[in-house]
Each structure stands twice: as C-alpha cells, then as structure tokens.
Structure 1
Amino acid sequence: MKNILVTGVGGPTPRSFVRAVKLSEKSSQREYRFIGVDCNPLAYGLYDRDLFDASYTVPRADNSEYWKVINSIIEKEQIDGAVILPEVEVLEWAKNKSMLEKEIETHLPDYDLAMAIVNKHRLHDYLDGTGLVPKYIRIQPDQYSYDKITGEVGDVFWIRSTEGSSGLGSLKIDSESSLAQWISINRNVKEFIASEFLPGRNMACKMLYFNGELKRTACAERVNYIMAKVAPSGITGNTSFGRLINEPKLVELSEKALDTISEYLGKELNGIFTVDFKEDLDGSPKITEINIRHVAFTSSIAAGGANIPFDTLEEMFFAESSSMKRIDYQYKEPMIFLRDVDSYPLVMKETDLLE
C-alpha cells in the first residue's frame, strides 16, 4: 500500500488521474491510497470517498503557511508520494520542493523549463523558426497596433492570454472593434498572444518523461467542450466529445519541440507534458501550447488502454527508470470518449453512436 497525496482535487484533472489509477488497480496487485487536498472547502473532490480516503483543506500555494500544512498532512497520513496537478502548484513544488520535511516520491518538471513552457509567448519564441508554431505576436492591452497585428498573423486571428488554461481570454477576432471590446472585457489579463487562426482539428499528445527519457506517448482529438455555450470562444478546457487517435506525426513533432526547449535551456526533461495542436488550412499541425501536467480527459484515454497515470506511479515506486521501456500507445480500433458534468466518462466505438 502506497499513500499518495493529490493536490487541487476540486478540479477535474486530479480526479481523472485517480480514476485512471483505480481502473488499473482492479487488474493489478498494486494498492494505492489517495489523500486529496484543495484550498477551497467547497471543492467536490474533498468529499468524493470513491476516490479519496481522506481529504484536507490547505492554504493557496502562494500562502506562507502552505508548506507547513502540507508537511503536517504528509506526517499524519504517512505519505509516500505526491501527485501535483494544478499548474500553480506544479511550479511551486518544482521550485520549492526543498521545503518538504520528509523525503517523498514526486514526478516534477525542472522549474526553469516549466516556466519557459507555461507562458505561451515564451513558448512560441523558443520554437520560432522550427515550423512547429503558427505565426504569432504579443499584445500589450494598453498599447498595440491593430494593423501590425494583422500584418503579422492575418486579418482573422486567435487571441488568448499568454498564461492560464481553460481558454482564458480566448476568442476569434475579425475586426479592430471586436479586439478592443475583448481586451476591455478581460481587464485581468495582463498580456495576450495573437496567432494565425487555425481551422483544423484540435489534438493533444501526452508525453511522459523520466530523467530525460521519453517513456509513454498517447494522442487524442478534442471535438466538443463541456458548457461550450457559456464561453464566447466555445472552448472551456473540458472536452465533452473526443477521439482516441493514432498520430505518430504528433509524437514526432512533440518530441522535437520538447527536445528543442530542453537543449536550449540545458535542462533535462522530466514529468508529464500535454502538447496541444491545431491544424492549419493545409492540415499541418501547429503547437498552440504545452501543459506541464495531465489534462481532464486523462481517465478517458486510460479507459481506451493508455493508462499513463498508472504507468507514472508504477515507475515512481516500483521500477528503475532504465528498465521502463518506451510505449507509444496505439488504439486497435477507432474509439471516442464522451464526458459530462458530474459523470464518469464513456469510451466506445464511434460506430456505436446513435443516429
């Protein structure tokens, strides 16, 4: 039995991670006990006893009391390892893991590399000239030239915040007035990035690294989003309908991108990275962002056979890194996944959809 601390359990991604592990536990001799924490006492996951055996509220990661409370939970629950999933906490742990009073297993990216990736403008700068990213330009809300933007990325473009997820500040822009109005509405966004509008498929490639070596990959396509109607962009960050896809090209491009950044910074790749792609007019995939964590449909691809969360814990606790052979997960037949609020995901053949 291994006691695993899981942070940010109010969000869907940590719960998706645990759900995926429990899916494999049924056919494995491994046993994991999960302890959930979140800064919000109303967080759903704190009270989900199907997933978490114990739960605690903790201060925000930027609070001076954060590590004191985390250390007390680690001691009380005899924690063996931690799964850190919200980006803000991934960064905090990557930077200040030395604050731990007890040595436990973690799987974290290098802090400098993570910081380079989470900012979308910096990410595009690192990959500029590689053909991996679309045309782009940074926008300062208080000073920008619309003509310069359209001259760089085209008359129709995509705008979003340079930091954050769930489509923060995202919208398709086709006029100067719509850009001005959108910036005015999103007053809390300090910086935007505008990029050429990519009309094709929206895909993701999951890349699991241990000590500089790529160990697992899996790909999926996002088609529709949960509560899409409430977001002007139609994107909420939570996929409601997606496909499990075999796309070796995405793996190749993802590996090239991460290797490029790793080599430039002189930092070893470690952790889980989710590389997001959108196809251009010619069907060529371009990287739009790279997450330094799992994403919410993790348990959906696990149900399809690519159980990267379970693989991660197995590697953390029971394997030597050199003995874990690389697997590029492939699906034997076309599969889709359906997700909804407060419901477990469904994985099925696309041909089984009702007409």
Structure 2
Amino acid sequence: MKRILVTGAGGSPSANFIRSLRAANEEYCIIGTDADKYYLQRAEVDRRYLAPLANDPKYIDFLNYIIEKEEVEFVHAQNDVEVSFLSENREKIKAKTFFPAKETVKILQDKFESFKLWEKAGIKVPKTQLITRDTDLGILLDEMGGSMWLRAISGAGGRGSLPVYDVKSAKNWLDFQEKNGSWNGNFTASELLEPETVTWMSLWKDGELVVAQGRKRLYWELAKISPSGVTGATGTGLTYSSEELDDIARRAVLAVDDKPDGLFGVDMAYDKNGVPNPTEINIGRFFTTHEFFTQAGLNMPEMFVKLGYNESVPVLEKNTNPLPDGLVWIRGMDFLPVLSDINTVDAAVAERDSILEKL
C-alpha cells in the first residue's frame, strides 16, 4: 500500500485528487495536512494534521516529522504556494516528489515571464504589458483597443483580474489592490479575449507526453459575485478536442521546458478569430475539477503517482484526448458533481421548447 501525503488536503483541488486515488486500482493510505483548522476537518484522508503555513521557518521540519512518523513515501500539493515551496526545497523533503525543473516552476508561476517565452516562440498570445507606476494607462488602453484585462502576475482563481474599459476604472482597481501589497510591477494589462476558455491537462515523463486531455469551461460557478466574472471555480466542464488546440498547447509547454516532467495544465482563451491563446500554465498540480476525468475513465492522478514512483503506466491506445468529446461535469456548492453528456442537456432544452410550442 502506497503512503501518500497531500498538503492543503481540505481544499477542493486536493479533494478531487484524493477521490481519484480512492477510485484507483490499488489501495492508498492518505495522510493530509492543512494550515486551516476548519478545512482540515473536511479532508477525506486516513490521518490528518494541522500544519503551519508554508512560509513558517519550521515548515520543512514539520513536514519531515509527519513523513517519518507516518512512513510517507510520496508528497503532493494542490495549491500554487505549496507547489512553489516543495519544488524549491525538494532535496530537503524526506519523500518522493514529482516536479519539473525548479526553473520551470518559477517561470510558470509568473504569468508575465511565461508570456514572454511564448511570444518569443512565435505562439499567438494576447498583447500583454507589465504595469508599473510609470505606465501611462491612457496610452496603454488605446494600444489595447479600448479595453484590457488586468490581472496579477501570480496566483490562482483569477487573482486580481478585472476587465476595464476606461482609465479611471483601471486606476481605481490597481489602487484597490494595494491592500494585498504593492501592485507596482506585479500586474499586467492584456488584450481582452473572448469569454470561451479551455484547459489542456497534460502529464509528462522525461520529456515525453504520457497523456493529455482537453476540457472547455462552459461557465464559472458563482460568477455573479466576482467583479471580473472569473471565480476560479468551474461550474460545468465539457470534454473537448481539437488538433489546433493540441498543437498550441504542446508548443506552449515545450517553449518553457524542452524536457518536461510532471503536470502541465495549459489554460487558453479564444481570440476574436477563434484561435486559442495560452494565458497561463498551472504547473505541478491538477486543475481543481480533475475528478471529472477520473469518473469518465481517465484517472490521471493514479498515473501521476505511478510515474512519481518511477513505475510504468498502461500505454493508452490514444494518449491525446482519450475521452470522448461531449461529456459534461456539472458541479456547484453543496451538490455532489454529476457526470452527464451534452446530448442529455440539449434533450432537456428540446423537450422544454416542444412543450412551450404546444401551450
């Protein structure tokens, strides 16, 4: 039985990872840590420990204490802060981890640095500029075509993001961000793309693609409570494939790392010409709702752990988009997720319209 430590175990991203391991073909003993005393109680683990924050000087010692006490063999994190910490300190962790090169993690946790590499590689990306206190927001807004997307260069869940259409709104939003620390040099302005977004979740080993699967986001859950409409919580996801998407996503990964290892989740948004533009790569972790793929028959966390143990995984007949298009994963607060398909959804719409025509 493999003994796995999952940090941030009480969060939704970790819950999807843990549930996927529970659905695997072998048994796992899963130990969980979380720095939030309330989140810890909901972690779906066999043992749980309240942890200090990753910036605590004793965090490594704490993790190693739990690793030795619980005979942990492998450690995985599902949030950017702990991915960054574990990657940078991987040699000090007394258990296996599975990350790409340290420099790759650093670059991909900085959205502006990754943008520069994609632009250099000739990949279509939204026009983007780093904002400093010397930036003339009026000129910048004109260059972006009268609208632009402001966002922090690091963080998840649409951190600091807002579409703006005038200088006053842009300035007020940036000033508002001072509560989280200076925005100077920590925000970008980008060309405003279309709302349609897609993620290409991929798993690599020694520079070779093991498996990748595309997923469109049909809408953000709780979008109405977010100023930008982006909440970081997918409401419904749809399995989706496209040769163009596959090609751009591969190129986006290889532009940053020519020998990728581990997890690369390429987020893309479509421009007005229908071309998917990379906007970020979530590195070293799965996107939040990856149990979708597991329940549909593609257990990527199981494969990830096996590769982290240097074990072989079954060779897929089709390693890019092995799942059929049109599956949907419908989720929401306090509801168990539902796996369905787009034809079933469309049938309900057709039935309603048919009834209304008769009335």
TM (normalized to structure 1)?
A: 0.90
2:237 corresponding residue in structure 1? 242
Distance in structure 2 (CA, Å) of the matches to 1:342 and 1:6? 23
Cα distance in 1, alignment partners of residues 127 and 20 from structure 2? 37
Structure 2 distance, partners of 1:78, 1:310, is 20
- Residue 151 (structure 1) shift: 4.0
Counterpart residue number, 1:343: 335
Match of 1:64 in 2: 57
Identify unmatched segments of 5+ residues in structure 1: none
What's the counterpart of residue 317 of structure 1? 309
Counterpart-to-counterpart distance in 1, 2:17 and 2:136? 43
Shift of 1:318: 6.5
The corresponding residue for 1:149 is 140
In the aligned structure 1, how far is the partner of 2:157 from the partner of 2:195?
Answer: 19
Amino acid at match of 1:42: Y
**What is the one-letter code of the residue matched to 1:178?**
S
Deviation of the 1:150 alpha carbon? 2.4
Cα deviation, residue 333, structure 1 = 4.8
Q: Name 2:103's counterpart in structure 1.
A: 112
Deviation sequence 1:321-344 (CA, Å, 0-9, x none): 8x8567113333511111112333
Distance 1:219 1:343 in 2: 24
Per-residue CA deviation, residues 45-91 of structure 1 (Å, 9 max, x unaligned), is x2246x31111011111111101111111111111111122111111
Q: d(CA) in 1 for partners of 2:160 and 2:189?
A: 11
Q: Which amino acid aligns with 1:344?
A: L
1:26-57 alpha-carbon deviations (Å, 9 max, x no partner): xx2x11111111111111xx2246x3111101
The equivalent position to 2:41 in structure 1, one of 36, 47, 50, is 47
Shift of residue 231 of structure 1? 0.7
Q: In the alignment, which residue of structure 2 is the partner of 1:251?
A: 246
> Structure 2: which amino acid aligns with 1:37?
T
1:161 and 2:155 equivalent? Answer: no
Residue of structure 2 aligned with 1:209, choices 204, 208, 213: 204
Distance in 2, Cα, partners of 1:252 & 1:235: 26
Contact in 1 for aligned 2:327/2:341 (Cα 8 Å)? yes
Letter in 2 for 1:313: V
TM-score by length of 2: 0.89
CA distance in 2, matches of 1:333, 1:109: 29
**C-alpha distance in 2, partners of 1:80/1:305?**
26
**In the alignment, which residue of structure 2 is the partner of 1:173?**
164
User: 1-side partners of 2:292 and 2:16: how far apart?
Assistant: 8
RMSD across aligned positions (CA): 1.9
What residue is the counterpart of 2:22 in the other structure? 22
Q: Percent identity?
A: 27
Structure 2: segments with no counterpart, 5+ residues: 350-359
Q: Report SS of the residue matched to 1:6.
A: strand
Q: Does structure 1 conserve the Cα–Cα contact (< 8 Å) formed by 2:123 and 2:252?
A: no
2:36 alignment partner AA: N
Distance 1:97 1:342 in 2: 36
More moved, 124-133 vs 286-295: 124-133
The amino acid that maps onto 2:159 is L
Structure 1 contact 136–152 (Cα < 8 Å) conserved: no
Aligned 8 A contact 1:218 1:306 in 2: no
Counterpart of 1:218 (choices 205, 210, 213) is 213
In 2: Cα distance, 1:328 partner to 1:82 partner: 27
Aligned length: 340
Does residue 183 of the first structure (1) align with residue 147 of the second (2)?
A: no
CA contact (8 A) 2:161 2:228 kept: yes
1:134 — aligned with what? 126
Retained in 2: the 8 A contact 1:204–1:275? Answer: yes
User: CA–CA distance in 2 between the matches of 1:305 and 1:247?
Assistant: 20
Contact 2:200–2:246 (Cα < 8 Å) also in 1: yes
CA contact 2:241–2:325 (8 Å) conserved in 1: no
- State the alpha-carbon separation in 2 of the partners of residues 318 and 114 from structure 1: 21
Distance in 2 of aligned mates of 1:248 and 1:157: 29
Partner amino acid, structure 1, of 2:90: K
| Structure 1 equivalent of residue 29 of structure 2 | 33
* Alpha-carbon contact 1:135-1:152 (below 8 Å) kept: no
Structure 2 CA distance, aligned partners of 1:347 and 1:63?
40
The offset of 1:301, in angstroms, is 2.2
